[in-house]
């Protein structure tokens, strides 16, 4: 297979490149050159936000393109339009945020979508931008040659958002840790490597259309995730499970100050941790255990020279130690 990855040096794009190289695919990447590409790829330089930034793609043919763009849909519109007729399939890594708020628990790919998205739009809101990217991909390649990967929470080695790295760093410091309950709160997420493996399988099978792409409901719980974090970092952390009501009363923001966690029985939990992924499972999705994802992410963090990378422009994540101590009564 001849694969073109737009980006290909950070988190999901990097996982796709690594998985493709493991399958002995012929891989080309196009990016701005800010990060070193993997050995064995053909590296092209280009900035999709600049005039003439796609010049390096003027020639060439590929069996598939993988695009993880999260900005203005116009960039996907221009790239997909340029590659139509020279690539067999366009895989766009979208988001479950494209569904109209708030989706019902157990929503599948037929759930209503947000309004106000356009394929050639400038950057607006995340949900509309991602749906605009979907419209751009299908507009250029058609419904039968485009794959819309509606991912949820993505974790794993090389994470550049900071959610699982924050929890691992907090556990490594030890002592009493505010653990947001309940312990059995179900979580849905996808390891970037499992996401990459499914994408390549979709290309091989000639799949098309939208797919919710995260682990099946009940694959992990908040307790399993934090227990794994505590164990892999040495076991010095003491989990203090705290009721959601006490956390919210303290003014702590779910998802950002306590990454991954959102309160049960809320629209946010339904949207982030209660999607129907049966279509993706039917077509090859396999998810490694939460323990493996946590272990491998910790090994990656320990091997870094300095702090874990974070994508530019993202808000900070994590809880202030003083706030944590106050809630725990320390």
Element (H, E) at 19: helix 11-22
Location of structure tokens 């959601």: 244
Express each pLDDT in 204-231 by its tens digit.
Answer: 999 999 999 999 998 999 999 999 999 9
Cα separation of 110 and 101, whole Å? 14
Q: Give me the helix-helix angle, 290-302 and 163-173, nearest 10°.
A: 80
Cα separation of 40 and 116, whole Å? 41
Angle made by CA atoms 81, 85, 87, in degrees to the nearest 5? 90
Q: Is 275 exposed, middle or buried, given 0-12, 13-18 or 19+ CB atoms closer than 10 A?
A: buried
Express each pLDDT in 105-163 by its tens digit.
Answer: 999 999 999 999 999 999 999 999 999 999 999 999 999 999 999 999 999 999 999 99
Residue 306 has pLDDT above 80, yes or no: no
Mean pLDDT, residues 181-205 taken together = 98
DSSP-assigned states of every residue in 152-182: --EESTT-SS-HHHHHHHHHHH-EEEEEES-
**Average pLDDT of the chain?**
96
Residue 311 has pLDDT above 90, yes or no: no
Looking at the chain, the whole-number percentage of residues with pLDDT higher than 90 is 94
- Using pLDDT thresholds of 50, 70 and 90, give the confidence band for residue 235: confident
Judge contact between 57 and 30, C-beta under 8 A: yes
Long-range contacts of 107-114 (CB under 8 A, 24+ apart): 107/212, 107/270, 107/274, 107/275, 107/276, 108/212, 108/275, 108/276, 108/278, 108/279, 109/150, 109/209, 109/210, 109/211, 109/212, 109/279
Of 255, 91, 80, give the one whose Cα is nearest residue 167: 255
Cα separation of 126 and 215, whole Å? 22
Express each pLDDT in 263-281 by its tens digit.
Answer: 999 999 999 999 999 999 9
Instruction: Kindly state the tokens that stand for 246.
Output: 């006490």
Instruction: Kindly state the tokens that stand for 210.
Output: 């939208």
pTM, entire model: 0.97
Cα separation of 232 and 299, whole Å? 9
Residue 314 has pLDDT above 90, yes or no: no
pLDDT given for residue 305 in this prediction: 82
Determine what percent of the chain falls in helix, strand and coil, rounding each to the nearest 5: 35, 20, 45
């Amino acid at each position: 297979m001849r694969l073109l990855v737009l980006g290909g040096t950070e988190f999901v794009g990097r996982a796709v490149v690594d998985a493709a190289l493991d399958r002995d695919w012929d891989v080309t990447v196009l990016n701005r050159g800010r990060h070193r590409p993997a050995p064995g790829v053909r590296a092209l330089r280009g900035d999709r936000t600049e005039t003439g930034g796609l010049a390096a793609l003027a020639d060439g043919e590929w069996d598939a393109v993988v695009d993880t763009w999260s900005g203005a849909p116009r960039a996907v519109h221009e790239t997909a339009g340029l590659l139509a007729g020279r690539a067999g399939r366009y895989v766009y890594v979208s988001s479950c945020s494209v569904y109209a708020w708030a989706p019902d628990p157990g929503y599948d790919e037929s759930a209503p979508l947000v309004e106000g998205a356009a394929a050639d739009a400038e950057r607006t809101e995340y949900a509309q931008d991602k749906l605009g990217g979907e419209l751009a991909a299908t507009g250029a390649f058609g419904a039968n040659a485009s794959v819309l990967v509606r991912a949820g929470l993505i974790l794993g080695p090389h994470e550049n958002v900071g959610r699982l790295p924050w929890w691992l760093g907090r556990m490594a410091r030890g002592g009493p840790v505010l653990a947001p309950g309940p312990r059995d709160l179900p979580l849905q997420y996808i390891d970037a490597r499992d996401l990459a493996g499914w994408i390549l399988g979709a290309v091989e099978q000639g799949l098309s259309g939208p797919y919710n792409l995260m682990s099946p409901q009940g694959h992990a719980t908040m307790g399993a995730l934090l227990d794994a974090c505590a164990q892999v970092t040495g076991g010095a952390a003491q989990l203090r499970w705290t009721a959601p009501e006490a956390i919210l009363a303290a003014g702590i923001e779910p998802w950002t100050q306590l990454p991954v966690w959102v309160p049960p029985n809320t629209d946010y939990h339904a949207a982030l941790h209660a999607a129907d992924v049966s279509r993706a499972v039917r077509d090859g999705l396999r998810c490694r255990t939460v323990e493996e994802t946590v272990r491998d992410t910790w090994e990656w963090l320990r091997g870094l020279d300095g702090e874990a990378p974070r994508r530019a422009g993202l808000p900070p994540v994590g809880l202030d130690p003083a706030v944590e101590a106050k809630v725990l009564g320390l």
